[in-house]
Amino acid sequence: MTAEVFTPNEVTVTMTPSAVKHVRKQLDKKPDAKGIRLAIKKSGCSGFKYETQWVETPATDDRIFAIDGVDVYVKEEHLPLVNGIEIDFVTEGVNSLFRFNNPNATAECGCGESFTVA
C-alpha cells in the first residue's frame, strides 16, 4: 500500500500521557515551535521509518491532531501509514525514546529502525 492509493476519511493519532508530558516539556523550551511533526520516510530494510520534527511553520498539506494541549502535525500523504497510531515515550535503561504503536505495521526490521505496511 502506498500513501497515494488510500486516504481514510477518519484518521486517529493518539499519545500516551508520558508522550504528552515529554512533548509539552520540550515545547516549553522552544517558544517558536507550534507542535511536533510525525513524518514517514522511506528507509531501512522494511520500507519506512518514523521521524519527529519540531514544527515552527505548518505546511499547507498538514493535518493537525490536537492531543491534550499538544498539536501533532502529519502530512496528508502519510495518513494511511499512521492511522490509529499511538505515540508513546518510554525509558529503557538509561535511554528515553518515542515508541510508535502502529496497528498498520505488518512487519518491522530486526533492529527496530523500519517497518512495513501491507
For residue 52, the domain's CATH number is 2.60.300.12
- pLDDT, one tens digit per residue, over 1-26 is 444 444 556 889 999 999 999 999 99
Residue 49 and residue 41 in contact, taking contact as beta carbons nearer than 8 Å: yes
Residue 2 lies in a domain: no
* 30 has a pLDDT exceeding 80: yes
Residue 46 lies in a domain: yes
Residue 19 lies in a domain: yes
| Dihedral (Cα; 20, 21, 24, 30), 10-degree rounding | -120
Q: What is this structure's pTM?
A: 0.84
Number of structural domains found in the chain: 1
**Residue ranges making up the domain that contains 111:** 14-116
Phi and psi angles of residue 96, each rounded to the nearest 5 degrees, phi first: -120, 140
Polymer length in residues for the chain: 118
Q: If you average pLDDT over residues 52-65, what whole number do you get?
A: 94
